Amino acid sequence: MTEPIPTHYARSQKAAAEPPKPDPTMRDREPQSIVPRESVAGSALTTVIAIMTFLASLTLGAVSLVNDTAQGWQNEIAREITIQVRPIADVDIAGAVASAQQIARSFAGIVSAEPVDDSATKALLEPWLGAGLSLDELPVPRLITIEIDAANPPNLEELKDKLASSVPGASLDDHRAWLDRLTTMATTTILVGLMIFVLMMAATILTVVFATRGAMAGNQHVIEVLHFVGAEQTYIAGEFQRHFLLLGLKGALAGGGLALIGFFIVGFWAGNNIADPASGQVSALFGTFSVGLSGYLGTGLLIFVIALLTALTSRYTVIRHVDALDGTKAVA
Amino acid sequence: MIRFENVGVRYGSGDEILKDLSFAIKPGSFQFLTGPSGAGKTSLLRLLFLSLKPTRGNIRIFGEDAATLTNVELPAVRRRIGIVFQDFRLLDHLTLYENVALPLRVRGKDERGYRKDVVDLLKWVGLSDRIDAHPSVLSGGEQQRAAVARALIDQPELLLADEPTGNLDPTLARRLLRLFIELNRNGTSVVIATHDLNLMDQYDARRLVLNEGRMQIYD
């Protein structure tokens, strides 16, 4: 401290030209991040984000699975209708079935119309009426199963009227009552799933916001020092936003990635054990039990949103803190 | 440079802790700000640094009315002022070099452009062998000098120091005072808040004495 004052900030003197000398203190230095990289609060935040993203992703996957399955139920049942031909005295039932089949095939939007043959009808009735059944002795209605083009469905009312007027004893069963019940059940299931997902997202958002604010509390002295050395608000906010975006991305990728791997493993397992009796029951209800594209894309979006949320929370916290520092009035 | 006119400060609904302050800090001046504990020295420094707004009165700083400065304009004004905090406020995760260079870094200056200035200044405050050390391993005196270096690195027009010798032994306190005097001789206005009478007796300078919220000036 007895050396003359350095020339660069001697306001009234001109800098004296000095030949450069090799000096170890002048070496290149790797710049450290202005925001502390390693901290217990930062690690805890990453862990919290990873856990919440994992749980939210699982919920999203489950909702996506239920949604796809419920849609599938409706589509499967809506793709088939049945014509029933009741036996009537003095009417050739085989001819009536052939007429009904002919009428059905004449309608646009019908992919196929196949009568359930006698052997299949007997097989259907065998559990109740026993073997060796003679259909001619019993007033058993004949069935025609019709597969319809779901994308271009036929006019069912018109088909119904035409059958009633042209074929004695014929009626059309479009499974409306069953379909309505199933639609109600599927819609309820989807709504419950969505409600659970919304609650899960609310819990995730609140947890991430409060955990970020908690982690930011440990950095208030950094914000104050940067502010007092003349850093602009946008500079400070940018530094923290970048740091917390990385923390959020790290946690969200860990949690979301784990969930995606889980979806893939379950889907793979279900696909390879479809012949197994237990998985047969599962696949009857849930198809291939695999999360669809919407589940994978949704989880990707979730990872991005949670990382962004973390960054924006840190930015907002910095801006509020700096505003409070600048706006401090002695009067409360 | 800075002019106070009938400035008063009150926290909450309590009594005014600073009353009717009217004085000026002139360019190139040197002054001690003193008074008993709780007299309002730190509050006055905060007013000078624009981190506290007065309850009443008018402050003009570098020709601007402080009341009309927006939050966007404040950093530019603050960059013309260097401040040494009583508790140093160094960042523990940065080295001494990075702490001192911080005001330049946040202004977006190129590191290669200011490297020599930072190293020279650290040598000048006697910390050339601690350049890459972290504040947590430094003594109170070393941290104090690092805080002074950080306040000076961008050649402020005004230096504010809050109890800068509070953590130093008498020998170090004298050395630090010489540093401030040398700085003042080179054109920087200096305000040192202290209640250390021994320190003030070592240099004949203007004294701003706060007592019960009012100021008496001894030129």
Q: What is the DSSP code string of A80-131?
A: EEEEEE---TTS-HHHHHHHHHHHHHTSTTEEEEEE--HHHHHHHHHHHH-S
Residues of A near B (CB-CB distance < 8 A)? 1, 3, 5-13, 23, 25-26, 29, 31-32, 34, 36-37, 221-222, 224-226, 228-233, 235, 322-323, 325-332
Distance (Å) from the alpha carbon of A63 to chain B's nearest alpha carbon = 45
Q: Which among A8, A230, A332 has CB closest to B12?
A: A332
Q: Which residues of A touch B150 (CB under 8 A)?
A: 229
- Report the pLDDT averaged over residues A299-319: 92
What pLDDT is attached to residue A14? 46
What pLDDT is attached to residue B102? 95
Give the side-chain half-sphere CA count within 13 A for A80: 9
What pLDDT is attached to residue A10? 52
- Report the pLDDT averaged over residues A155-167: 88
pLDDT tens-place string over residues B133-181? 999 999 888 898 899 999 989 889 999 999 888 777 788 788 888 888 9
Q: Which among B43, B91, B120 has CB closest to A8?
A: B120
H-run or E-run covering A288: none
Contacting B residues, span 24-53, partner chain A, CB-CB under 8 Å: 43, 46, 49-53
What pLDDT is attached to residue A306? 93
- What is the share, in percent, of chain B residues with pLDDT greater than 70? 100
The reply to whether ipTM tops 0.90 is no
Q: Is residue B114 part of a domain?
A: yes
Q: From the centroid of its chain, how far is CA A259?
A: 12
What pLDDT is attached to residue A154? 86
Residue with tokens 């199933």: A182
Nearest-by-CA chain A residue for B95: A32
Answer yes or no: is pLDDT of B120 > 60. yes
Determine whether the interchain pair A8/B128 forms a contact, defined as Cβ–Cβ distance below 8 Å: no
Residue A183's closest CA among A76, A290, A282, A276? Answer: A76
Q: Is residue B144 part of a domain?
A: yes
- Report the pLDDT averaged over residues B22-36: 93
pTM of the model: 0.73
Q: Which residues of B touch A228 (CB under 8 A)?
A: 49, 51, 78, 83, 85, 89
Q: Is residue B141 part of a domain?
A: yes
Distance (Å) from the alpha carbon of A39 to chain B's nearest alpha carbon = 10
Q: Is residue B100 part of a domain?
A: yes
Q: Is residue B211 part of a domain?
A: no
What pLDDT is attached to residue B171? 82
β-strand pairing of B189-193 with B30-34: parallel
Q: Is residue B105 part of a domain?
A: yes
Residue B94's closest CA among A36, A318, A42? Answer: A36
Domain of residue B147, residue span: 91-154
B87 touching chain A per CB within 8 A: no
Contacting B residues, span 90-119, partner chain A, CB-CB under 8 Å: 90-91, 93-95, 97-98, 102-103, 105-108, 111, 115-117, 119
Q: Give me the residue spans of the domains in chain A.
A: 40-75+180-324, 87-168
What pLDDT is attached to residue A177? 79
Distance (Å) from the alpha carbon of A211 to chain B's nearest alpha carbon = 22
Q: Which residues of B touch A226 (CB under 8 A)?
A: 102, 106
Q: Which among B11, B128, B152 has CB closest to A9?
A: B152
Interface size, chain A vs chain B, as Cβ–Cβ contacts under 8 Å? 137
Backbone φ/ψ region at B22: left (φ over 0), alpha (ψ -120 to 50), beta: beta
CB A142 within 8 A of CB A116: yes
Nearest-by-CA chain A residue for B145: A1
Nearest-by-CA chain A residue for B51: A326
Count of structural domains within chain B: 1
Distance (Å) from the alpha carbon of B18 to chain A's nearest alpha carbon = 10
Determine whether the interchain pair A226/B183 forms a contact, defined as Cβ–Cβ distance below 8 Å: no
Task: Give me A300's structure tokens.
Answer: 């990707």
Given pLDDT bands bounded at 50, 70 and 90, which one contains residue A331? very low
Q: Is residue B102 part of a domain?
A: yes
Q: Is residue B128 part of a domain?
A: yes
